[in-house]
Amino acid sequence: MHTPHDEEMMGLALAEASAALQAGVFPVGAVLATPDRVLGRSHKHMGSNHLAHAEMNLFHSVFNGDYPFQRGDGITLYTTLEPCVMCFGTFLHLPLQRLVFSMEDAYGGCAGTRMHPAPPRHQHSAPQIVGGLHRNESRALFARFLQATDEPFWVNGGAPEFQAAVRGPV
Protein backbone atom coordinates (compact mmCIF):
# COMPACT_ATOMS: atom_id res chain seq x y z
CA MET A 1 0.00 0.00 0.00
CA HIS A 2 1.60 3.26 -1.08
CA THR A 3 0.51 6.90 -1.30
CA PRO A 4 1.08 9.76 -3.79
CA HIS A 5 3.68 11.04 -1.30
CA ASP A 6 5.48 7.70 -1.54
CA GLU A 7 5.50 8.02 -5.34
CA GLU A 8 7.03 11.47 -5.08
CA MET A 9 9.70 10.37 -2.59
CA MET A 10 10.62 7.33 -4.68
CA GLY A 11 10.97 9.71 -7.63
CA LEU A 12 13.62 11.57 -5.64
CA ALA A 13 15.36 8.29 -4.78
CA LEU A 14 15.36 7.32 -8.47
CA ALA A 15 16.92 10.70 -9.33
CA GLU A 16 19.68 9.89 -6.83
CA ALA A 17 20.14 6.49 -8.46
CA SER A 18 20.41 8.19 -11.86
CA ALA A 19 23.15 10.45 -10.48
CA ALA A 20 25.06 7.34 -9.37
CA LEU A 21 24.63 5.83 -12.83
CA GLN A 22 25.98 9.01 -14.47
CA ALA A 23 29.07 8.60 -12.29
CA GLY A 24 29.48 4.96 -13.34
CA VAL A 25 28.42 3.67 -9.92
CA PHE A 26 25.90 0.91 -9.17
CA PRO A 27 22.66 2.94 -9.28
CA VAL A 28 21.03 2.84 -5.87
CA GLY A 29 19.40 5.98 -4.44
CA ALA A 30 17.76 6.54 -1.07
CA VAL A 31 15.64 9.17 0.67
CA LEU A 32 14.55 9.63 4.29
CA ALA A 33 11.31 11.56 4.77
CA THR A 34 8.48 12.22 7.17
CA PRO A 35 4.99 12.64 5.66
CA ASP A 36 5.71 16.36 5.16
CA ARG A 37 9.48 16.79 5.03
CA VAL A 38 12.50 15.38 3.20
CA LEU A 39 15.23 14.73 5.79
CA GLY A 40 17.94 13.70 3.38
CA ARG A 41 18.82 11.99 0.11
CA SER A 42 21.85 10.11 -1.09
CA HIS A 43 23.20 7.56 -3.53
CA LYS A 44 25.94 4.99 -3.65
CA HIS A 45 29.27 6.72 -4.15
CA MET A 46 32.14 4.48 -5.07
CA GLY A 47 32.16 0.88 -6.14
CA SER A 48 35.12 -0.10 -3.99
CA ASN A 49 33.76 0.99 -0.58
CA HIS A 50 31.51 -1.80 0.59
CA LEU A 51 30.17 0.27 3.49
CA ALA A 52 29.17 3.30 1.38
CA HIS A 53 25.76 2.02 0.34
CA ALA A 54 23.17 4.70 -0.46
CA GLU A 55 21.26 3.94 2.73
CA MET A 56 24.35 4.02 4.96
CA ASN A 57 25.47 7.37 3.51
CA LEU A 58 22.02 8.71 4.26
CA PHE A 59 21.86 7.25 7.79
CA HIS A 60 25.23 8.82 8.61
CA SER A 61 24.12 12.26 7.40
CA VAL A 62 20.65 12.32 9.03
CA PHE A 63 21.35 10.41 12.27
CA ASN A 64 24.69 12.02 13.03
CA GLY A 65 25.21 12.91 16.69
CA ASP A 66 22.25 13.73 18.95
CA TYR A 67 19.49 13.55 16.40
CA PRO A 68 16.00 14.80 17.34
CA PHE A 69 14.01 11.93 15.84
CA GLN A 70 11.85 9.33 17.54
CA ARG A 71 10.05 6.27 16.27
CA GLY A 72 6.71 8.10 16.43
CA ASP A 73 7.88 10.71 13.91
CA GLY A 74 6.73 8.54 11.04
CA ILE A 75 10.03 8.48 9.15
CA THR A 76 10.13 6.34 6.01
CA LEU A 77 13.22 5.06 4.22
CA TYR A 78 12.78 5.02 0.44
CA THR A 79 15.37 3.06 -1.50
CA THR A 80 15.56 1.93 -5.10
CA LEU A 81 16.85 -1.54 -4.21
CA GLU A 82 15.80 -3.88 -1.41
CA PRO A 83 18.32 -3.29 1.41
CA CYS A 84 21.20 -5.65 2.16
CA VAL A 85 21.81 -7.16 5.61
CA MET A 86 23.92 -4.17 6.72
CA CYS A 87 21.41 -1.53 5.65
CA PHE A 88 18.35 -3.47 6.80
CA GLY A 89 19.95 -4.10 10.19
CA THR A 90 20.69 -0.39 10.55
CA PHE A 91 17.16 0.43 9.43
CA LEU A 92 15.83 -1.73 12.29
CA HIS A 93 18.25 -0.12 14.75
CA LEU A 94 17.21 3.47 13.95
CA PRO A 95 13.84 5.07 14.82
CA LEU A 96 12.27 4.38 11.41
CA GLN A 97 8.73 3.15 10.89
CA ARG A 98 8.47 2.27 7.22
CA LEU A 99 10.60 0.90 4.44
CA VAL A 100 9.52 1.44 0.84
CA PHE A 101 11.79 -0.08 -1.79
CA SER A 102 11.62 -0.32 -5.55
CA MET A 103 13.35 -3.39 -7.01
CA GLU A 104 13.75 -6.59 -5.04
CA ASP A 105 17.27 -7.99 -4.63
CA ALA A 106 16.96 -11.71 -5.16
CA TYR A 107 20.68 -12.10 -4.39
CA GLY A 108 21.22 -10.19 -1.13
CA GLY A 109 17.95 -8.50 -0.23
CA CYS A 110 17.08 -8.79 3.45
CA ALA A 111 13.73 -6.99 3.80
CA GLY A 112 12.09 -10.35 4.56
CA THR A 113 14.53 -11.14 7.36
CA ARG A 114 13.07 -11.43 10.85
CA MET A 115 14.77 -11.90 14.20
CA HIS A 116 13.66 -15.09 15.96
CA PRO A 117 13.34 -14.47 18.76
CA ALA A 118 13.57 -10.70 18.59
CA PRO A 119 15.49 -9.20 21.52
CA PRO A 120 13.43 -6.94 23.81
CA ARG A 121 14.59 -3.76 22.04
CA HIS A 122 12.93 -4.93 18.84
CA GLN A 123 9.84 -6.74 20.06
CA HIS A 124 7.45 -3.80 19.70
CA SER A 125 8.75 -2.08 16.62
CA ALA A 126 7.84 -4.19 13.61
CA PRO A 127 8.23 -1.82 10.64
CA GLN A 128 5.86 -1.59 7.71
CA ILE A 129 7.53 -2.77 4.51
CA VAL A 130 6.36 -2.07 0.96
CA GLY A 131 8.22 -3.40 -2.09
CA GLY A 132 7.92 -2.88 -5.84
CA LEU A 133 7.16 0.84 -6.04
CA HIS A 134 8.42 2.08 -9.45
CA ARG A 135 10.18 -1.27 -9.93
CA ASN A 136 10.43 -0.88 -13.71
CA GLU A 137 12.18 2.48 -13.48
CA SER A 138 14.69 1.14 -10.99
CA ARG A 139 15.22 -2.03 -13.01
CA ALA A 140 15.89 0.03 -16.16
CA LEU A 141 18.71 1.87 -14.36
CA PHE A 142 20.27 -1.42 -13.26
CA ALA A 143 19.98 -2.76 -16.83
CA ARG A 144 21.84 0.28 -18.16
CA PHE A 145 24.51 -0.16 -15.50
CA LEU A 146 25.02 -3.86 -16.27
CA GLN A 147 25.26 -3.07 -19.99
CA ALA A 148 27.96 -0.44 -19.45
CA THR A 149 30.05 -1.67 -16.51
CA ASP A 150 33.43 -3.29 -16.84
CA GLU A 151 33.70 -4.16 -13.13
CA PRO A 152 34.92 -7.78 -12.98
CA PHE A 153 32.33 -8.71 -10.33
CA TRP A 154 29.46 -7.95 -12.70
CA VAL A 155 31.16 -9.02 -15.94
CA ASN A 156 32.01 -12.39 -14.39
CA GLY A 157 28.40 -13.05 -13.41
CA GLY A 158 28.38 -11.87 -9.79
CA ALA A 159 25.04 -11.75 -7.95
CA PRO A 160 23.49 -14.11 -10.53
CA GLU A 161 19.96 -14.04 -9.08
CA PHE A 162 19.95 -10.25 -9.21
CA GLN A 163 21.38 -10.09 -12.74
CA ALA A 164 18.78 -12.59 -13.93
CA ALA A 165 15.97 -10.46 -12.48
CA VAL A 166 17.34 -7.32 -14.14
CA ARG A 167 17.80 -9.00 -17.51
CA GLY A 168 14.72 -11.21 -17.35
CA PRO A 169 11.11 -10.56 -18.38
CA VAL A 170 9.44 -7.54 -16.82
Residue 77 Cβ vs Zn ion, minimum distance, rounded to whole Å = 11
Q: Looking at 12-20, 30-38, 76-84, 91-99, which segment touches Zn ion (CB under 5 A)?
A: 76-84
The residue from 81, 84, 92, 165 that contacts Zn ion (CB under 5 A) is 84
Handedness of CA 23, 107, 104, 93 (dihedral sign): negative
Closest CA to 94 of 102, 104, 86: 86
Residue 61 Cβ vs Zn ion, minimum distance, rounded to whole Å = 15
Q: Could you tell me the CA-to-CA distances from 32 to 10, 23, 71, 115 in Å, in that order? A: 10, 22, 13, 24
Residue 120 Cβ vs Zn ion, minimum distance, rounded to whole Å = 26
Which residues are identified as catalytic? 55
The residue from 87, 96, 100, 166 that contacts Zn ion (CB under 5 A) is 87
116 three-state secondary structure: coil
DSSP letter assigned to residue 37? E
Query: Among residues 35 and 51, whose Cβ is nearest to Zn ion?
Result: 51
Q: Which 24-53 positions form the footprint of Zn ion (CB under 5 A)?
A: 53
Rounded CA gap, 166 and 45, in Å?
A: 21
Query: Among residues 41 and 53, whose Cβ is nearest to Zn ion?
Result: 53
Interaction site with Zn ion (CB under 5 A): 53, 84, 87
